[in-house]
A and B are shown apart, each in its own frame.
Chain A
Amino acid sequence: MSEHSSAAGAPFGATRSPHGTRLAVPPNWRRAAATLAILGAPFLVGSLLGNYWVRVMDMAALYVILALGLNVVVGMAGLLDLGYVAFYAVGAYTMALLSSPQLGVHYSFWLLLPVAGVLAAIAGVALGYPVLRLRSDYLAMVTLAFGEIVRIFLNNLDTPINITNGPMGISGISPPYLLGYSLKRNYELFGVELTYTAIFWYLIVALGLATAFLLGRLRDSRIGWAWGAIREDELAARTSGIDIRRLKLYAFGTGAFFAGFAGCIFASFQGFVSPESFTLFESIAVLCMVVLGGIGSLPGVAVGAAVLTVLPESLRGLNDLQQALLGRQYVNGTDLRMVIYSVLLLLVIIFRPQGLLGSEQRRRELTAGRIDSRVGRAGR
């Protein structure tokens, strides 16, 4: 691997990035600064805002992985997957079932991490195979329904044989172990307290950087180019000899893989999963992160995920504000999460479809005249 494109902290290729060239700081320094920031963040946040916010950071990093995965499907291949959370659930329940007292087996987190990803990818391909040739909006509706069906099964597979423990969920999921040490414990190292939320932060960020690196390479590979071609003009792509259906399946499978991957981390981090974590709203929330940051842009998606995880948490402060200003609490701040997401989603898709960090080309792709049977028939 070359110097420029591989190191942690600059996984998007330091020399090629349009933002990177503008900075006069040598890439090595930037990399060092980024590494330092990642290493120091949990301590800084933990001591300034408390451990709760380190947990929020962990969730933000996890959502970055999820959003990066969805970005493969929505951003790179241009397919709308509204049941994305189903694959997240497959990953989470893989970990939950195979490493908890529920079935009495305790496989290692490190083994289950790829297994969860592969199982989710298989689910993605199995769903995608029959429906990927449909119109893009039909596909979206089918995936949406699929997401809800997975939830119905998770909710009801407690009778007559108890598999998922139904709405009660599965608890007691094993933490990851490293060299025999549990990663879900607080340690004291040289007089410094290392909380498990900080350990998970390092774990999730490391996996997230690996994800971003892999996806960056994938985007610049022949497969990534083929996705771009399909997204821009399916007919032209097909004429150029691209096997559309196979590449769409790849996109679906890859996206689902990372969702399963994130699900496995989520289950291990929480120690508990229930169908409640995998509602339609989660799928929409992840979609919102992808669209807000900039469909197709890896840094954009990461920023979108981080912003939209932290934002609702700060809404908790709204409760005290209402109490102070209005004398009583009218709405629960956290209930506003989806309201804010939906308004943001609406505003972004109408006024800035390329998102916060998307490119001009993306804007044109997302606003140009619709290519469908209707306009086609009228000969435009």
Chain B
Amino acid sequence: MIGQQLVNGLVLGCIYAMLALGFSMVFGILRLINFAHGEVFMIGAMVSITVLNLLLAKTGQPVSLLVAGGLLLVTTVAAGLSCGVLGIALERVAYRPLRRAPVLAPLISAIAASIFLQNVAMLVWGRQYIAFPSILPSGGIQIGEAAISWPGVLIVVVSPMLMVALNQFMKRTTIGKSMRATAEDLEVAAYMGIDTDRVIVAAFFVGSVLAGVAGTLVSLYIGATNYFIGFFAIMKAFAAAVLGGVGNLTGAVLGGLLLGLIESFAIGFLPDLTWGFMGTQYKDIFAFIVLVVFLIFRPSGLLGEQASERA
């Protein structure tokens, strides 16, 4: 029981970590809540299903694991790239015109953009859950008493790789270094000759690519997706980011993993704790509880140094 919850929580946590990373990158630079981030994730999931279905229509059900892996890779890249482009478009339309406006105006515009994407997705892909084509073999690995499906294994393997890659990107590349400088202080970075507009676009792009990949992996793992998943995604990403310390990328990963574990364990033990009164249908309230508790008692999160702006 405990082992299974641990494994489930880890898989969930990897997804939350990827979401929180993209969210935190933008927050770190602009100090703005990128509300449409959840919708980027949702579009990633939707695009991956569409692309994979198109590919499968050409190739037929793959015979070998190698072909299946190749198809998944192409799908993931396609979803990631389209999400990256979407992220850039969002920055242009919803954020850039309001860069100098008070903090609530860009939040409202981001919410508007996100409601727009949600409803367009509903018109395009319908209200119902749509299934992710079954492409990986069923079954998985058994570790002791805990089972983990192949998509779960994929998530646990791929997301740390992406995080390491992101870490190297931030440390070694020029644009990564500029991103860190801009997050440190936008004004001073601009004085030093950094093209901060370009940095902001890059942050949106990289964050959205991560969200797109996360969307693909999640719908592969769960086996289906629908237009409404973005809302929960952004709430989880926000909670994870706050838990780890908003704007702090290491914190985002830590917060994501912790939130996944908290949720998984809470769902596992909630029926016993409440004498069967509350079951898994309440799984989404834990992120909220974590969020409120942290905002009240430790608004800077686990790793954040700078205290939240208090009124």
Chain A residues near B (Cβ < 8 Å): 78, 80, 82, 130-138, 140-142, 144-146, 148-149, 152, 155-156, 160, 234, 238, 244-245, 248, 280-281, 284, 287-288, 291, 331, 335-336, 338-339, 341-343, 345-346, 349-350, 353, 365-374, 377-378, 380
Contacting B103 at CB < 8 Å: which of A137, A245, A284? A137
Contacting A367 at CB < 8 Å: which of B101, B108, B112, B238? B101
When distances are taken between beta carbons in the complex, the residues of chain B under 8 Å from A367 are 100-102, 105
A130 and B292 alpha carbons, distance in the complex (Å): 8
Contacting B112 at CB < 8 Å: which of A136, A248, A342, A380? A342
The chain A residue sitting closest to B101, CB to CB, is A367
A2 and B209 alpha carbons, distance in the complex (Å): 63
> Closest CB-CB distance, A334 to chain B, in whole Å?
11
A349 and B93 alpha carbons, distance in the complex (Å): 12
A370 and B227 alpha carbons, distance in the complex (Å): 33
B102 adjacent to A335 (CB under 8 Å):
no
Question: Could you give 18 example pairs across A and B, Cβ below 8 Å?
Answer: A131-B296, A137-B107, A152-B284, A155-B281, A287-B108, A335-B119, A335-B123, A338-B116, A338-B119, A341-B115, A345-B112, A346-B94, A366-B102, A370-B102, A373-B31, A374-B31, A374-B186, A378-B187
A244 adjacent to B311 (CB under 8 Å):
yes
A152 adjacent to B115 (CB under 8 Å):
no
> Closest CB-CB distance, B121 to chain A, in whole Å?
11
> Closest CB-CB distance, A148 to chain B, in whole Å?
7
When distances are taken between beta carbons in the complex, the residues of chain A under 8 Å from B299 are 134, 138
The chain A residue sitting closest to B293, CB to CB, is A130
A137 adjacent to B102 (CB under 8 Å):
no
When distances are taken between beta carbons in the complex, the residues of chain B under 8 Å from A160 are 276-277
Given contact pairs A135-B308, A144-B235, A349-B105, enumerate 17 new A-B contacts (beta carbons under 8 Å).
Answer: A134-B308, A134-B311, A137-B107, A148-B284, A149-B285, A149-B288, A281-B115, A336-B119, A338-B116, A338-B119, A341-B115, A342-B115, A346-B93, A349-B108, A367-B101, A374-B186, A380-B187
> Closest CB-CB distance, B128 to chain A, in whole Å?
14
When distances are taken between beta carbons in the complex, the residues of chain A under 8 Å from B131 are none
Q: How many A-B pairs with Cβ below 8 Å?
A: 153
A133-B310, A137-B33, A335-B122 as given contacts; A378 in contact with B188, CB under 8 Å: yes
B98: interface (CB < 8 Å): yes
> Chain B 161-177 against A: per-residue CB contact (8 Å), 1 yes, 0 no?
00000000000000000
A372 and B308 alpha carbons, distance in the complex (Å): 11
Contacting A284 at CB < 8 Å: which of B111, B185, B235, B238? B111
Within 8 A of A (CB), among B76-98: 93-94, 97-98
A369 adjacent to B308 (CB under 8 Å):
no
B102 adjacent to A371 (CB under 8 Å):
yes
> Closest CB-CB distance, B24 to chain A, in whole Å?
14
A328 and B66 alpha carbons, distance in the complex (Å): 44
A172 and B93 alpha carbons, distance in the complex (Å): 46
B145: interface (CB < 8 Å): no
Contacting A141 at CB < 8 Å: which of B33, B115, B310? B33
> Closest CB-CB distance, A295 to chain B, in whole Å?
10
When distances are taken between beta carbons in the complex, the residues of chain B under 8 Å from A148 are 231, 235, 284, 288
A156-B282, A346-B112, A374-B31 as given contacts; A133 in contact with B100, CB under 8 Å: no
A148 and B292 alpha carbons, distance in the complex (Å): 14
> Closest CB-CB distance, B286 to chain A, in whole Å?
10
When distances are taken between beta carbons in the complex, the residues of chain B under 8 Å from A146 are 288
Indicate the member of A132, A342, A380 with the most B CB atoms within 10 Å.
Answer: A342
A131 and B102 alpha carbons, distance in the complex (Å): 20
> Closest CB-CB distance, A348 to chain B, in whole Å?
9
Within 8 A of A (CB), among B259-311: 276-277, 281-282, 284-285, 287-288, 291-292, 295-296, 299, 306, 308-311
When distances are taken between beta carbons in the complex, the residues of chain B under 8 Å from A78 are 104
B291 adjacent to A142 (CB under 8 Å):
yes
B309 adjacent to A372 (CB under 8 Å):
yes
A367 and B97 alpha carbons, distance in the complex (Å): 10
